[in-house]
Structure 1
């Protein structure tokens, strides 16, 4: 029962309140008591409705953005329509509800302004699939063109979010990476979260935003967004797509699988500078399913049966993204070895040697794959170089009191890896490329660590070659900083090491 104040007009009639029960039965309503006499007599619920003032408790006022806001009797906001049972009792959810609600949310004018120019949308989507897609192919090009970009299709909020995220990642940033597009997209993602929507396309938009924040060195947002992606993906259940092979919907499961592997890659790469920080996503198993070949996927071929798994030996035929995933997997193993979980290095010494050999073998395959496709700065190669430099830095620390032979062997591995990155630096300087598909934001750490290796050589020998190598690597980072501001951040770190002498 909701109690209203008794307000009458000058004529003595009820102004705007009346008992809806009595009105429905066309009975005279005594409005001078909290519950009218007829309802008391027949033991009915007496309900009064305000037909003019929507701010009175018990009504449904409009929210700030125009969407209806349901309130309880105590005036507290009700749930947003998402079934809480999905998280509180999953067994009950799947046996009763069975599926998440299809919440086609209204598109805000702020979000719509990012993608309303058709010619511009076509331009930056073509740029995405030409330059960014090759090193992050987790969006199915065919599905995107036919179902999302198609003007005949339904315009849904999650699809508009994905298009806006593509625009963000393909736009070269100004002096401030937190542009109006970036801020508008972040606000829109928050509004979608508050609305109680869980959609796969929204997750893909979040992944693109995380890559943008990583590449533009927007911290701590990059770290937090990757954590959000991990939780979002687990909530949707796509984390299970790498654990089992689903042939019933090859297109969908392959795209979901690739999206989850991209989140794993982001989680691993974000921790290269801080190995003691715990990884968010558990280590995949040896039977985890790898992505299929990129070209075959684009052409609509079904995944191979049986599928490729983590324990499969790497080959050039696997495809570029599959090799990138394997590199991310090995990087995760390196981070676990160098992190706080590895307390007794003597027990793990044999495993470390095997891990180093495995990374070296994968590096060789990625270099062959890059040369075959004419790719100089190959994303899986630079991730392998980062992993090997981190691992051998740890080995050098463990062997610091051992014989010079063992120490020199580790230093030789580091110098060889740094020399490979120097070759890639020369390619960037020779071509002047900073935004093509070869250059991803996952290469900066390897450039940075290679410059540190040459700085250590310079400290010991005053080598002119080492000095030139440092200069060239810094120059390549400077060129790449026009596209990814994280490169400029690594330049600042190198300058700080030069001043402090910390190498």
Structure 2
């Protein structure tokens, strides 16, 4: 894919590789961070323009005539233009002579302060074979130019150029039809060094799309390649962040190593740096979602809970959750881009709901999707950038209509969110509460019965499988049954529907656990046949744990050996999953703690 990676990005990668061995792969808060300091203005000696700027004159606003940008234009983030005023005569010969003299003095000053070794290396760098020695590294060059060898600290954090009007009064922002200019954040040298060479970057991208992308398709493959192949677009920090997050989540950990790797620490620091620079973009949110997926899959808490919540807030701020709200991003120019934004927001909803199944009693960070919200389209067609001639499928559409694998996962997680909200809401009247529980039971059972039939015709080598959809559906059912299956939670003098949902729950736990066990055997069979563990979704592990916990409870209550056999089978699969996702080991320890309590009770 070297031909697809733009020359500017390759040059930055090569430069970082040369001197990256002398630096830590993390991010030093040194001037080589490539942050452009903003010049401080002395308001006491600042000159004013002769007349108001073009924008203030057209809108009849008061202009303070500050140069180079008036306060109003700076506050709302628009371009300040004094071009009509600045159309003066060309410079005179005396002005050209003075300018040449100043340039000559500046050259003399620089040549007298740069070390001889740095000058020699600088002349060598002008040849076709570019090489950088230790003396010509950016840090050494900078320290040799600055007096006393003390590097200047970058002017960071600089005054924000983001228009506060967007948050303070969004109605006024929309009325004025302002647009937010996305800040250009330079790529830190540490980020380029962490990405490795061009060949390593190509291998990482291919590995990501053949593994994580199969069950969490939120990054457009064709748009990413087009972005890299565009010679007119300079790669920014948001692309580097996305690449680092893709590398993080698609790399399998060595056996016994903790998930808090150096790459994890680097990408977390990188995101914090971009957030402090007021960065926002679809790629930035995609990177944050992949970080949250990594943390969720490896059981890194509370970081996973906070990262997913942060992604929801960023998505809300950018307006991805609805079309009729103030938008931070410009309008989409292609169908593929619009579909990518939709998938990114569905990724937020999936992680937000699935991470709250075991962490109950807390509100979701993301808004409830509307019934007319569109589901993701066909996964393979979207990867090719091919728009199908079919009506978009909404969330309220019948489940019997054929949908893509990712759309099925969205339907399942939407129902799982409804189950969590239903259980946490204690204000629902009893009559309606039990009826709603029965309705959720019927809807989830219908979807759970439909998905295995579709999965039989799903080619696991050609695209995403339905394992994630099934697993989320099973998790939602077991969560619902756990709330109504216990006799101690019965409400006195409740309507007859309470006994109905209790009966369905007791019977449903056994049936769903058997379905989870069947799904576990299929996953284990694929792993034993040599399927890449990278395609194993962390979204499937939670339902396997719930089934194992249920079997442990059954064995504790009945002491029947077949429950112990099924529990051992579930634990064996969790040990296989632990090779890819460390959260499986946490689930094993929870189950074993339950078994230890059983042994202690018998003694």
- TM-score, normalised with respect to structure 2: 0.67
Matched residue, 1:396: 485
Judged with a 3 Å threshold, the aligned counterparts in structure 2 of structure 1 residues 201 and 405 are, in CA distance, closer, same or farther, namely closer
Matched, 1:199 2:199: no
What aligned pairs does 1:345-356 form with structure 2 within 5 A after superposition? 345-356=430-441
Judged with a 3 Å threshold, the aligned counterparts in structure 2 of structure 1 residues 156 and 168 are, in CA distance, closer, same or farther, namely same
Matched residue, 1:130: 210
> Aligned pairs, how many?
440
Matched residue, 1:385: 474
Matched, 1:101 2:196: no
Matched residue, 1:227: 309
Give 1:216 deviation, angstroms: 0.9
Counterparts of 2:215 and 2:323 in 1: how far apart (Å)?
21
The counterpart of 1:67, out of the listed 33, 37, 51, is 37
Per-residue displacement from partner, 1:255-287 (whole Å, max 9, x unpaired)?
101100110011101111122111112222221
Asked whether the equivalents of residues 551 and 566 of structure 2 are also in contact (C-alpha less than 8 Å), the reply is: yes
Matched residue, 2:593: 496
Counterparts of 2:577 and 2:357 in 1: how far apart (Å)?
20
SS of the residue corresponding to residue 322 of structure 2 reads helix
Q: Which moved more, 1:457-466 or 1:330-339?
A: 457-466
Matched residue, 1:455: 552
Give 1:316 deviation, angstroms: 6.5
Matched residue, 2:22: none
Matched, 1:251 2:336: yes
Counterparts of 1:406 and 1:157 in 2: how far apart (Å)?
52
Matched, 1:410 2:505: yes
Judged with a 3 Å threshold, the aligned counterparts in structure 2 of structure 1 residues 431 and 290 are, in CA distance, closer, same or farther, namely closer
Matched, 1:268 2:353: yes
SS of the residue corresponding to residue 309 of structure 1 reads coil
Judged with a 3 Å threshold, the aligned counterparts in structure 2 of structure 1 residues 483 and 202 are, in CA distance, closer, same or farther, namely same
Matched residue, 2:25: none
Per-residue displacement from partner, 1:2-52 (whole Å, max 9, x unpaired)?
xxxxxxxxxxxxxxxxxxxxxxxxxxxxxxxxxxxxxxxxxxxxxxxxxxx
Give 1:78 deviation, angstroms: 5.4
Judged with a 3 Å threshold, the aligned counterparts in structure 2 of structure 1 residues 151 and 482 are, in CA distance, closer, same or farther, namely farther
Counterparts of 1:256 and 1:209 in 2: how far apart (Å)?
18
State the superposition RMSD in angstroms.
3.1
Counterparts of 2:237 and 2:33 in 1: how far apart (Å)?
19
Matched, 1:368 2:368: no
Give 1:341 deviation, angstroms: 4.3
Give 1:161 deviation, angstroms: 0.9
Counterparts of 1:275 and 1:320 in 2: how far apart (Å)?
27
Counterparts of 1:72 and 1:466 in 2: how far apart (Å)?
78
Matched, 1:327 2:412: yes
SS of the residue corresponding to residue 127 of structure 1 reads helix
Counterparts of 2:514 and 2:191 in 1: how far apart (Å)?
46
Name which structure has the greater RCO, CA cutoff 8 Å, separation 6+: 2
SS of the residue corresponding to residue 232 of structure 1 reads helix
The counterpart of 2:562, out of the listed 465, 470, 475, is 465
The counterpart of 2:248, out of the listed 168, 172, 185, is 168
Per-residue displacement from partner, 1:436-476 (whole Å, max 9, x unpaired)?
46521111110111012212221233222211110111111
Matched residue, 1:141: 221
Counterparts of 2:229 and 2:545 in 1: how far apart (Å)?
39
Asked whether the equivalents of residues 157 and 276 of structure 2 are also in contact (C-alpha less than 8 Å), the reply is: no
The counterpart of 1:300, out of the listed 351, 368, 385, is 385
Q: Which moved more, 1:341-350 or 1:187-196?
A: 341-350
Give 1:366 deviation, angstroms: 1.8
Unaligned runs of 5+ in 2: 1-30, 45-154, 326-330, 491-496, 599-603
